[in-house]
A and B are shown apart, each in its own frame.
Chain A
Amino acid sequence: MTENAEQRAKHLLYDENGNPTRDRPWIFRTYAGHTSARASNELYLGNLSKGQTGLSIAFDLATQCGYSSDHPIARPEVGKVGVPINSLDDFAVLFKDIPLDRMNTSMTINGTSMWLLALYVALARERGTDEKLLQGTTQNDLVKEYLARGTYIFPPEAHFRIIAEMYEYALERIPKWNASNICSYHLQEAGATPAQELAFALVTAIGVLDVLKERGHFTHEQFERCVGRISFFVNAGIRFVEEMCKMRAFAELWDEITRERYGVENERYRLFRYGVQVNSLGLTESQPENNAWRIILESLGVTLSRNARCRAMQLPAWNEALSLPRPWDQQWSLRLQQILAYETDLLEYPDIFDGSHVITSKVDDLKSQARAEIDRILGMGGVSAGIETGYMKSSLVRSMSERVSRINAGEQIVVGLNRWTEGIASPLLSGDDGGIFKVDGDSTRETLEALERTRATRDGERVKRALEALKQAARDGSSMMEPSIECALARVTTGEWADALREVFGEYRPVTGIEGQKLTLEDDRVRALRQRVDAYAQRAGHRPRIVVGKPGLDGHSNGAEVIAVSARHVGFDVIYSGIRLTVDEIVASAVEENADVIGISILSGSHRELGAQMMEQLAAAGASDDIPVVFGGIIPQDDFEELTNLGIRRVFTPSDYSLTDIMERIMDVVEEQEG
């Protein structure tokens, strides 16, 4: 000891030998993956060479929803929002030249989480890497999938079992693996307030731990360690002081819950460990350069307070509201992390908020709100009941509607969107590529060919046996983890693995959560629009009928829900059928309902493919002239012309934030149709 404890300065950090020190930075990640296993591998190697210290893998929607790339519903989505993975062969390409025993890999994967973990373990086995050394996370949080993101496959009960079996496998075999990651990120994207984010995430964790406890596969000692493996993945919004307080509230509540509810004695296992992706919801399409500042401020919320600092951070890119980021955009975001961690003095201090009355009071306020909400949900039977009754979903849709109402009314200022909207055009958008990223349309072929090769060269008998064993385990309640690894080694495909379990567990259809929701927006324009709608109803003999739908696998339903609620708000009869619909289903609805207009929401970048399919199907039903179609979503300006040529009548993007405006323009379409 060079200094004893009394002599230590309160503003310094000391290492175990008593020498002043600074903290090690969090893990730097970038959420990445696109096109194909090969292209993504190149991207990862590039990012790692720039100083990124962990991987965060984005999978395409087909992989997330358990379809192989050649399934009809998968085809328009292959490689769009992430990397397509069909079999262990793709995985081997994805991790080429990346040492699994020295990499920390986070996979944003939920419905097919067990499958992807099985592939990772299988790859390690084939490479002769010691499984015990594998480090990383499978996101595996179904609650937010049911509530906000939509890539669930199985009913809640079946999936809680899958999560539990992954924990049971991981605890001794791959002890540094986080089998799941309680993910409140998407809850905030879906409109959750800080207290809701706290409460919903914590009841989800309680849901997982209760299941693990009830299954009784662990001794208490093992269970404590397992509690220590629970990690979280949160969102950090622009109100960064409140967000910082939220993180402190998280840490304190988690300590309380693990101690009181689960009797965890070892302090180490009660630590609140979390990764973060800062908020994308607040990023704007208009004046996108402003997003760079937003990202910096948001990252402060999760780094400033040492007691509640993230373990890993990934930042969105400034142009995320426009398209997927290009490698340069990701590099720019990575540089921000490096500057924050290495240039500033952030990592040199103990917690700089300890002792602040203001912060303590704010944290206490959030905690008591969250506790009340936690009690309410536990009172109705816990997180599964909260999902199945639609309670949690409707709370979120309500919060979202309120947020949108505030922005529309100008009560919540968003710079460049509803205030100070005039400005000099951004030079960032004037490059040859317009500042956005486009997936090479031809790249699907490479993925499909690889899939065919795998199918042609594998041992068909072994595949059959492996799938039978998987189904058998699913039925008799034994662990599906080892059978899944055997499936991976046998070159079973993603679609085959998921289909086998669909056969046993069935597929889940959730409540939409929009029933009974309303907007608070009331102004002269809304009233005028209602009169216009009423006048139409008088003339036409019926209220305008709109079918709102989300085709394809993208499950981010917020946009479609807000449009559905808004349309009713101004007097439309709205037929809303939720997510994961095929184009055929949406067209069939529109035809059977004799709709006056169809509104389609697409965020996955497959608007061109889906637009073409839509118009073909309408033509086949003989309704192309009768039912006009409008599109909304993350659609680059460059694609407007192509969509217009297809016959799409209006295209809305995130810069069309005024709901009244959108509804007026949809009403224009309805009236044009009157002839």
Chain B
Amino acid sequence: MAADLEALVDRALDGEKLAIARLVSVFEDTRVDAPSRRREVLQHLAARRTRKARFVGITGTPGAGKSTLVGELATRLVAGDARVRVAVLAIDPSSHISGGSLLGDRTRVRFPVGDRRLYFRSQASDQELGGVSRTTFPVCRLLYHLFDYVFIETVGIGQSEIEIQQVADFVFLVLTPLGGDGVQFMKAGIMEIPDAIVLNKCDAVDAARKSYHALRASLSLSRPGEEHLVRIFRTSATTGQGLDELSTFILQLGQDAIGRGMPAKERYFLEKWVRDEYGRQGLRALAARGGAAAVMHAGDFEAAQLQFASEYQQR
């Protein structure tokens, strides 16, 4: 097994899809002993020269054109620079009855077959309400090393999409002209999340212009006291309008622009993991150990998970 994982790591770094896909599955694995395999993969990666991905969150209601937009942006990013590698992680809801899911986003994103620089993976939300899956963060820890940009496309149910802010470095909220979803978002407090807004499907010129100004107005209301209003991009996948501008903007998101570093994310998701696995009692045990920050000092995320799990079980 050990040798297997190491070989997979090398093949994945080379851009081989099957190897990447298998490693992603290791990071999605829900079995208790899985973190140790993840740890091993990350150790192999640490011993090699790897990439350092920026995570771009894409949220917004269904039908806002998130997937098509992501497909266009990813294609542009790799077209602009032959060395760049881009992954897309698209999350769709799971059924509350069967636990199964329909992951349909691939329909909207058509990458040229055989291009090693683009990778698409669907995830089921697994009844999580935060807009991303329980396994999104672990998988991001892997993709961090293999790609330069990772788009995370949320479920997009229009509410409780808060978690994207924790996992992504930069979050775009995608809206459509006169979709009325702006108001919904304001109500849900979602307007406070995005770092920038994309007004998509701007092919209808008039509607787009009206919406743009309505949006400007509502933003200044919902985020009072902010020095700069968040930027609004106007795009259309049909005409190509605004897409180059947006992809250039993403390219220029330097490491310094990233507000949420990995340690902060690890702390957040460790606490969340404890809550998911062990509930309130687990949280109390975590607090007794000095909170997520203290437990993280034991080492990396996976080591902290393993250690907490074994201590908690012995209790």
A-chain residues with CB within 8 Å of residue B12 when the two chains form the complex: none
- In the complex the two chains form, is A577's CB within 8 Å of B100's CB? no
B-chain residues with CB within 8 Å of residue A592 when the two chains form the complex: 17, 20-21, 119-121
Q: Told that A514-B102, A542-B25, A569-B97 touch, could you supply 19 new A-B pairs with CB distance under 8 A?
A: A155-B238, A390-B63, A515-B92, A530-B98, A541-B28, A541-B31, A568-B95, A571-B95, A573-B103, A573-B122, A577-B106, A588-B111, A588-B113, A591-B18, A591-B21, A592-B17, A593-B103, A621-B18, A622-B18
Most chain A beta-carbon neighbours within 10 Å: one of B18, B29, B108, B120: B18
A-chain residues with CB within 8 Å of residue B102 when the two chains form the complex: 514-515, 517, 564-565, 568, 574, 576
- Knowing A506-B238, A512-B107 touch, does A594 contact B22 (C-beta < 8 A)? yes
- In the complex the two chains form, is B104's CB within 8 Å of A571's CB? no
1/0 contact trace for B21-65 toward A, CB 8 Å? 110110011110010000000000000000000000000001100
- In the complex the two chains form, is A543's CB within 8 Å of B121's CB? no
A-chain residues with CB within 8 Å of residue B17 when the two chains form the complex: 588, 591-592, 621
- In the complex the two chains form, is A541's CB within 8 Å of B100's CB? no
10 pairs, A vs B, C-beta closer than 8 Å = A542-B30, A568-B95, A571-B95, A573-B101, A575-B104, A577-B106, A585-B110, A588-B114, A592-B119, A594-B22
Smallest CB-CB separation from A579: which chain B residue?
Answer: B107
- In the complex the two chains form, is B18's CB within 8 Å of A389's CB? no
A592, B105: Cα distance in complex, Å: 13
Write the nearest CB–CB distance from A546 to chain B, whole angstroms.
Answer: 9
Q: Does B99 contact A (CB under 8 A)?
A: yes
- In the complex the two chains form, is A542's CB within 8 Å of B107's CB? no
What's the count of A-B pairs with C-beta under 8 Å? 118
Q: Does A509 contact B (CB under 8 A)?
A: yes
Nearest 8 CB-CB pairs, A to B? A541-B29, A568-B100, A594-B21, A541-B31, A571-B100, A571-B98, A584-B113, A578-B107
Interchain CB contact (< 8 A) of A541 among B30, B95, B97, B114 = B30
Q: Does B132 contact A (CB under 8 A)?
A: no
A577, B20: Cα distance in complex, Å: 20
A591, B19: Cα distance in complex, Å: 9
Within 8 A of B (CB), among A268-322: none
Q: Does A612 contact B (CB under 8 A)?
A: no
Smallest CB-CB separation from B16: which chain A residue?
Answer: A622
- In the complex the two chains form, is A514's CB within 8 Å of B119's CB? no
B-chain residues with CB within 8 Å of residue A585 when the two chains form the complex: 110, 113
A514, B22: Cα distance in complex, Å: 27
B-chain residues with CB within 8 Å of residue A577 when the two chains form the complex: 104, 106-107
A571, B106: Cα distance in complex, Å: 20
Q: A interface, how many residues as a size bin?
A: 35 or more
Most chain A beta-carbon neighbours within 10 Å: one of B34, B95, B102: B102
Q: Does A450 contact B (CB under 8 A)?
A: no
A511, B120: Cα distance in complex, Å: 19
Q: Does A582 contact B (CB under 8 A)?
A: yes
A512, B103: Cα distance in complex, Å: 11
A662, B81: Cα distance in complex, Å: 46
A373, B309: Cα distance in complex, Å: 56
Smallest CB-CB separation from A583: which chain B residue?
Answer: B113
Chain A binding site: helix, strand, loop or mixed by DSSP?
loop
- In the complex the two chains form, is B238's CB within 8 Å of A569's CB? no
Interchain CB contact (< 8 A) of A567 among B24, B31, B100, B121 = B100
B-chain residues with CB within 8 Å of residue A533 when the two chains form the complex: 98-100
A-chain residues with CB within 8 Å of residue B99 when the two chains form the complex: 530, 533-534, 537, 543, 571
Q: Does B70 contact A (CB under 8 A)?
A: no
Q: Does B140 contact A (CB under 8 A)?
A: no
- Knowing A584-B114, A588-B113 touch, does A623 contact B18 (C-beta < 8 A)? yes
A-chain residues with CB within 8 Å of residue B24 when the two chains form the complex: 594
Q: Does A570 contact B (CB under 8 A)?
A: yes
Q: Does A608 contact B (CB under 8 A)?
A: no
Write the nearest CB–CB distance from A533 to chain B, whole angstroms.
Answer: 8
Chain B binding site: helix, strand, loop or mixed by DSSP?
mixed
A537, B29: Cα distance in complex, Å: 10
Q: Does A589 contact B (CB under 8 A)?
A: yes
Smallest CB-CB separation from A576: which chain B residue?
Answer: B104
Q: Does A650 contact B (CB under 8 A)?
A: no
Interchain CB contact (< 8 A) of B101 among A530, A538, A574, A623 = A574
A390, B107: Cα distance in complex, Å: 14
- In the complex the two chains form, is B104's CB within 8 Å of A543's CB? no
A518, B97: Cα distance in complex, Å: 10
Write the nearest CB–CB distance from B25 to chain A, whole angstroms.
Answer: 5
Q: Does A572 contact B (CB under 8 A)?
A: yes
Write the nearest CB–CB distance from A365 to chain B, whole angstroms.
Answer: 33
Write the nearest CB–CB distance from B201 to chain A, whole angstroms.
Answer: 10
Q: Does B86 contact A (CB under 8 A)?
A: no
- In the complex the two chains form, is B104's CB within 8 Å of A515's CB? yes
- In the complex the two chains form, is B63's CB within 8 Å of A389's CB? yes
Write the nearest CB–CB distance from B106 to chain A, whole angstroms.
Answer: 4
Q: Does B124 contact A (CB under 8 A)?
A: yes
- In the complex the two chains form, is A541's CB within 8 Å of B34's CB? yes
B-chain residues with CB within 8 Å of residue A593 when the two chains form the complex: 21, 103, 121-122
- In the complex the two chains form, is A569's CB within 8 Å of B22's CB? no
Smallest CB-CB separation from A534: which chain B residue?
Answer: B99
A494, B104: Cα distance in complex, Å: 32
Smallest CB-CB separation from B37: which chain A residue?
Answer: A541
Within 8 A of A (CB), among B63-77: 63
A-chain residues with CB within 8 Å of residue B104 when the two chains form the complex: 512, 514-515, 575-578
A517, B34: Cα distance in complex, Å: 33
- In the complex the two chains form, is B120's CB within 8 Å of A569's CB? no
A570, B102: Cα distance in complex, Å: 12
Write the nearest CB–CB distance from B176 to chain A, whole angstroms.
Answer: 11
Smallest CB-CB separation from A596: which chain B residue?
Answer: B25
Smallest CB-CB separation from A390: which chain B residue?
Answer: B63
1/0 contact trace for A388-426 toward B, CB 8 Å? 011000000000000000000000000000000000000
- In the complex the two chains form, is B106's CB within 8 Å of A575's CB? yes
Write the nearest CB–CB distance from A654 to chain B, whole angstroms.
Answer: 23
Write the nearest CB–CB distance from B96 to chain A, whole angstroms.
Answer: 10
B-chain residues with CB within 8 Å of residue A591 when the two chains form the complex: 17-18, 21
Smallest CB-CB separation from B101: which chain A residue?
Answer: A573
Write the nearest CB–CB distance from B138 to chain A, whole angstroms.
Answer: 12
Most chain A beta-carbon neighbours within 10 Å: one of B30, B62, B107, B238: B107
Write the nearest CB–CB distance from B135 to chain A, whole angstroms.
Answer: 9
Within 8 A of B (CB), among A525-549: 530, 533-534, 537-538, 541-543
B-chain residues with CB within 8 Å of residue A537 when the two chains form the complex: 30, 99
- In the complex the two chains form, is B98's CB within 8 Å of A569's CB? yes
- In the complex the two chains form, is B101's CB within 8 Å of A509's CB? no
A44, B246: Cα distance in complex, Å: 57
- In the complex the two chains form, is A568's CB within 8 Å of B108's CB? no
Write the nearest CB–CB distance from B132 to chain A, whole angstroms.
Answer: 15
A-chain residues with CB within 8 Å of residue B111 when the two chains form the complex: 588
Write the nearest CB–CB distance from B41 to chain A, whole angstroms.
Answer: 14
Write the nearest CB–CB distance from A560 to chain B, whole angstroms.
Answer: 12
A111, B238: Cα distance in complex, Å: 20
Smallest CB-CB separation from A549: which chain B residue?
Answer: B106
A222, B124: Cα distance in complex, Å: 55
Write the nearest CB–CB distance from B91 to chain A, whole angstroms.
Answer: 11
A582, B63: Cα distance in complex, Å: 25
- In the complex the two chains form, is A568's CB within 8 Å of B18's CB? no
Interchain CB contact (< 8 A) of A568 among B63, B98, B113, B121 = B98
B-chain residues with CB within 8 Å of residue A594 when the two chains form the complex: 18, 21-22, 24-25
B-chain residues with CB within 8 Å of residue A538 when the two chains form the complex: 31
1/0 contact trace for A620-662 toward B, CB 8 Å? 0111001000000000000000000000000000000000000
A543, B98: Cα distance in complex, Å: 11
B-chain residues with CB within 8 Å of residue A389 when the two chains form the complex: 63
- In the complex the two chains form, is B21's CB within 8 Å of A568's CB? no
Within 8 A of B (CB), among A480-535: 506, 509, 511-512, 514-515, 517-518, 530, 533-534
B-chain residues with CB within 8 Å of residue A517 when the two chains form the complex: 102
- In the complex the two chains form, is A570's CB within 8 Å of B100's CB? yes
B-chain residues with CB within 8 Å of residue A578 when the two chains form the complex: 104, 107
A71, B296: Cα distance in complex, Å: 57
Smallest CB-CB separation from B103: which chain A residue?
Answer: A575
